[in-house]
Chains A and B, each alone.
Chain A
């Protein structure tokens, strides 16, 4: 789960990291009221889960209520790379004398934690990595040992930050490390990490991605409640299905994440595009197929549905019965193509046979099923 900037800052504040005072609002009126409490000048910041907010006009400085009202009006509803701004973060403006970059993430290759620190902040770290790779100070941390203060200091010194803030930077980065590990984040990033004219080190932005698998040991209900999902993603989330919404016209249901991914691939190879990724998982409960089919059929993009099942321990006839049970319970608008293979595939196909027609078709292989589904979608 990716957090909005303001949520990331709330989390950082819990770990003692210095962030600017501010408030999250959803209306122009609330923005102006919040600015009064926060104190002018304020920065009006669009809360969207995409980079490049500043360039898109989503971050503006306001010196007074008129300016705040004007900016809030312009930014609310703004489309930033397809993300519509619904929330604003109003924070007290900071004076900046230097901008740095700091982050912790997992190096999957080294299987260690990985910290990056640079005196060149405020720009994309990928750009720094390309243009001036030596400007990034890197550290690998063994998860068993954790980050020691001495290691952290060496790392800071290697980054060649302003020498006067070394101690503060070490303290802040130790806290950021705690937030990264104890907070169960996949990414904890501050860009820019600023130094103010009076020499204070301060997190001016926050980019945090939480590890959804660790939700059981945290109270993330408030973060969760603010997640923006489209209708289909919300429905899938409530039905506990592994779902990703896409833009194509062939709805996909497969059992297994790998098979679902490869189903997208073969639909593409057949000249079509998938409307979604959906892993229905193991088992063959009719309820699961009802949920999956309903979500897909309610998607206005969908013109045909491709159910791709490989029977393992769950046998073909169980899956066939689950699908037939689901189709008896609900009315599906789009035509369905089924590919059923693996354990007891023949028995499963025999169960499907009497139900076949224009609305429900069967294909012997994954590729043929994909071609058929693509053809139906283009009709």
Chain B
């Protein structure tokens, strides 16, 4: 202490000396808030009656923080906060651009929906195993991944969400769940390890992990450093996370085993984190290398979308079919990454946001329908339309939305993507998107026909299917509603309707989201604003 007084230290060489305005705290609040709520819930782990209230309050708070953040980013461009006051690139930077803010807000909305749905779906045992604490910690990981501006930090948030997702997968520790979780855990660990190896390599090449710093340094290193190898490693690691063909088989093997609220959350969020990372690293950090890989990504995209939907056609279990639809959507999103044009990328971003909402809602719908019919198997269910017209029409709307039919939100991103593909003459990619849409219509139509439209078996009241056993098949926990209930639970239906109406609203009035997606895509292709927000005064290239 005495020496410090004698020789004054110039803190401004290492520290950001400007005071941080309170509004900048919005950048880290989504993460810090989720961690706080998760910790509080974990401390109250025995008081399960308090869990839903605290968690839903926290999730509403998260939505508000993310919404405020989005408003600020829309008004002011990318925002940066560097942890611990250190100057970048040495401090860990959180940099929020428009894409990150859009993804974070949609993820928060989906998590809120899952939290409300979980009130009915997750029983006391599930709560004692920690559904709500894990949900909050998962959201800390997801929000962190969307908001961070540091590659290694992105890896850390991947780990956080992965560990929370392991916990969510095995709520209740049943045999089928452990089986699904083992496959999920193994493949995700392989993907994460690849990600870590690639990141170590990246650090070795660049001596920096800050994304803005990498954008600045990449042009000088491009001639000498093996950036192509690095980009390919990242492509493989993130494709595994996103469940792209041929590394997609872990998803249908595991996503139908946990509670429905968990399946819905995973189907909505986790694969999109992989897509987000792909966009961030391939498009923003290594655009030149992505150009070289464009063919590979395009072929992967086409195969993923077509094979995904073919898988959905073949399923008897509605939850597994929805799992395959999630994969098919990943293919559509990867098509935009392969194209790499402003139109293609804005299509991908729009589709990812649409997919988060719609896939979550589809799992909810499949769950409510399955419990009402007494079975998730198409061969055993039927007659839902007669008893539950609202549910039937909502599900039909979601099916149209996922197939990309108007007037729902799935239409516009597909229009953007097909147009972008035709613009560069990739007619086969455009054709595969259209064929996928057509096959999706057939696949979802088949589910709707068999589970909803087809009359219930003779001599049965709707909802009390005599072919179905009293316990719901393929589920071992108490269902959302007991089979034979006259109406689905109110909260579950309300959540389903809210998510579906989001899809309808953005289908009928897509302009604001389209404009935001286009702006976000333009910012990714020309990241000078992103770099400027981290290094004020620096001019990239």
A and B bind: no
Residues of A bordering B, CB below 8 Å:
none
Residues of B bordering A, CB below 8 Å:
none
